[in-house]
Amino acid sequence: MRIVKWAAHAAAAATLALLPAIASAQTLKVVMHSDVKIIDPFWTTAYIARNYGYMIYDTLLAVDDKLQIKPQMLEGWKVSDDKLTYTFTLRDGLKFHDGQPVTAEDCVASLNRWAPKDAMGQKLMSFTKELKAVDDKTFTLVLKEPYGLVLETLGKPSSLVPFIMPKRIAQTPGNVQISETIGSGPFVFRKDLWRPGERTIYDKFKDYKPRPEPPSGLSGGKVVHLDRVEWINITDPQTTLNALANGEIDMIEQPVIELLSLLEGDKSIKVVDLNPLGSQVDFRFNTLHKPEDPPGRVLCVEPEGLPGGGLHQPEVLQGVQGAVHLRHAARHRQGFRGQAEFRLRQVKADPQGRRL
């Protein structure tokens, strides 16, 4: 069955583990929302760079589907009674793609490279007195004073994600993009086959050691059922849909709204929502050229057919806040599912211009 995913791509590796319908396939071909142009996950906040990062790197901590912090690369951690010292211990058997073991020094170097680039990382480091490796599997974070967001910072799920890379790569100067793409995640980036503007290819990392727990959000075991994943770059929406219908690709990350009804009408295509939390959307009105208000009246913006204003239209709310029902699951930064009509009308106002 061909699969369309309509949602922000929270984590490619975790997503693949949640798609049993394609578990028997050897290669998965996906059209993503954008093309991979930058391969340094700390260089840009672009979602496609984050998604690329989740394919080839792993994280110390991760959030589950209840947004609770869980260990990922870590076996666990301890916090001193005074809340000033955090001791982190790595799991056994973690390896990078070049066969080298993941060590505490790799973690320290990676965090030191990531933190200056990220707002939460900067704040954490402003509270940090010392971050150092104790032995190959253990490192400590010592604070100047208690800080309540240590774990939440190290387990943050989106741009910029504190991915772990080898120390020698993490020591690349912060003003220089990394050129080596070696992580310890479930897939190996095939830089030799990478064609910017055309395709990005990942092969299964056979020595990846998933956690024993079932996958939940970005946490748990990332069990890979595929030998290869190809991100195909097709910029035209209709061409993308045709490629899916013809079996040339297996999945679309973000189909355009205008074509969604066609996808839902095809019984060979499954439309799924893997991001029930939704996305944040801002409404901005043109205030540069304000319309002239007659004396005692102001212009009021409200959804069509809903006197009194307020965003009560169900599909708009479902689109902005996230939806449980599949029919209302389509939403992202390009707009809403369905029609959200608004109108301007004049209403009575007090001398200060406030609506009566």
pLDDT at 127: 98
CA distance 158 to 119: 12
CA distance 114 to 106: 12
pLDDT at 281: 64
pLDDT at 328: 30
Q: Which two tokens stand for residue 137?
A: 């599997």
What's the pTM value of the predicted model, to 2 decimals? 0.77
pLDDT at 338: 40
Q: For the stretch 225-240, what's the b/e string if a residue is b when 16 or more beta carbons lie within 10 angstroms of its beta carbon?
A: ebebbbbbbbeebeeb
Tracing tokens 């208000």 back to the chain, one arrives at 293
For 138, half-sphere exposure in the C-beta direction (CA atoms, 13 angstrom radius) is: 7
pLDDT at 294: 62
What's the chain's Rg over C-alpha atoms?
A: 24
pLDDT by 10s per residue, the chain, length 356: 455 644 333 334 434 444 444 444 599 999 999 999 999 999 999 999 999 999 999 999 999 989 999 999 999 999 999 999 999 999 999 999 999 999 999 999 999 999 999 999 999 999 999 999 999 999 999 999 999 999 999 999 988 999 999 999 999 999 999 999 999 999 999 999 999 999 999 999 999 999 999 999 999 999 999 999 999 999 999 999 999 989 999 999 988 888 888 888 888 888 888 777 776 666 666 667 666 656 665 556 555 544 444 444 555 555 544 433 333 323 333 333 444 445 555 566 666 656 66
